[in-house]
Amino acid sequence: MNRRHFLAAGLAGGAVLTPLAGSALAAEESAAPAVKPFKLKYAPALGVFKQLAGDDIYDQIRFMHDQGFRAMFDNGLMKKPADQQEKIAALLNELKMDLGPFVGFANFGEESFVLPPGEVKEKILQSTEQWIETHKRTGAAWVLVVPGRYNQKLEWDYQTANVIENLKYCAESCQKAGLTIVLEPLNPHNHPGLFLTKMPQAYQICQAVDNPSCKIVDDLYHQQITEGNLIPNIDRCWSRIGAFHIGDNPGRKEPGTGEINYKNIFKHLNKKEYKGVLCCEHGTSQKGKDGELAFIKAYRAADDF
């Protein structure tokens, strides 16, 4: 496949393309310099490099690795066929890449975790079983959970208590399987009506659940909109953060296109010796190959600390 063959191009800002491993051209150009891995485990999504790497998802993963990425994520992993999940996991294991959180429960249109356990426990436990099966096939360490909408008739503190109780039995099952739930607070401007919106709120819930398998995914795009104060909230919630999502604001594009100082945030995480995944959950500011190149260049620039 011609689109798999990329020579080191010496692009500005360090966005360097190299031949994909195993290609004939890669063998011919074995003297081409290897791209240095990023300091942190930034995780592009499947599909973000379609123009440069082609439609084949396994070529896309190899391309990510060749550009220095040591993680990837796929929100829709649980919905993929079992054999495809296993192949993705096998390739990531071969390349020594981590797999970021997959979406396990994120229905924005209905009340769920805020309801009394007696009303929703069976449904939630059925979902939990699916998460665990995906974990067994892929080794994915984190499953993303959005606790759904809030109830307009029930006092807020009762809803909080229900969320905590519902998460307790989910976390217990996940802990036995070696899987960690990561709760995602989302901003109320893009997603009005959801129960979980802020980092302190998520931290309070995790503290009450009191299980190492119940943590937070800190989506920096959402939290910049909702409350700002990104680095102090990282520090205050540190013991309960399992993963990060990245996206600049406004626009939810690559770092450097908005108001968030991602270089300082990444430097801070590196200083704290963060070894987890940072999912690049955003679009590109340009279309086509130029946009994909800009994506790589943006992370090289933000990782230069």
Nearest to 60 by CA among 86, 81, 83, 88: 88
Average pLDDT of the residues in 152-165: 98
Residue 11 is predicted with a pLDDT of 45
Predicted confidence at residue 12, as pLDDT, reads 40
Stretch among 28-37, 59-68, 99-108 having the lowest mean pLDDT: 28-37
Residue 14 in domain: no
Query: What are φ and ψ of residue 12, in 5° steps?
Result: -60, 140
Domain that holds residue 155: 38-302
Average pLDDT rounded to a whole number, residues 157-164: 98
Residue 19: inside a domain:
no
Positions marked catalytic: 184, 281
3-state secondary structure of 145: strand
Domain holding 78: CATH number?
A: 3.20.20.150
What's the mean per-residue pLDDT of the chain?
A: 92
Note whether residue 26 is domain-resident. no
pLDDT value of position 18? 53
pTM above 0.95, yes or no: no
**84 domain-assigned:** yes
Enumerate residues 6+ apart whose C-beta is below 8 A from 172: 211, 213
The pLDDT score that the predictor gives to residue 25 is 41
Mean pLDDT for 167-195 is 98
Q: What is the predicted pLDDT for the residue at 82? A: 98
CA 48, 107, 219, 94 dihedral sign is: negative
Number of compact structural domains in the chain: 1
pLDDT band of residue 218 (cuts 50, 70, 90) is very high
User: What's the DSSP call for residue 290?
Assistant: H
Residue 13 is assigned to a structural domain of this protein: no
pLDDT band at 10 (very low <50, low <70, confident <90, very high): very low
In-domain check, residue 16: no
- What is the predicted pLDDT for the residue at 15? 53
Q: Please work out, in degrees rounded to the nearest 5, the angle formed at the alpha carbon of residue 47 by the alpha carbons of 68 and 274.
A: 40
The reply to whether 226 falls in a domain is yes
What number is the average pLDDT over the span 280-297?
98
User: 114 pLDDT band (50/70/90 cuts)?
Assistant: very high
Q: Using one digit for the tens of pLDDT, what is the confidence trace for 227-257? A: 999 999 999 999 999 999 999 999 999 999 9
> pLDDT tens across 24-60, in order?
444 444 344 579 999 999 999 999 999 999 999 999 9
Sorting pLDDT into bands at 50, 70 and 90, what band is 14?
low
Query: What percentage of residues in the chain have a pLDDT greater than 90?
Result: 89
Name the band, by pLDDT with cuts 50, 70 and 90, for residue 2: very low
Region 8-33 average pLDDT = 46
- Asked, for residue 221, whether it belongs to a domain, the answer is yes
Identify the pLDDT of residue 9. 41
Q: How many CA atoms lie within 13 A of 57 on its CB side?
A: 17
Nearest Cα neighbor of 74 from 60, 93, 53, 94 is 60
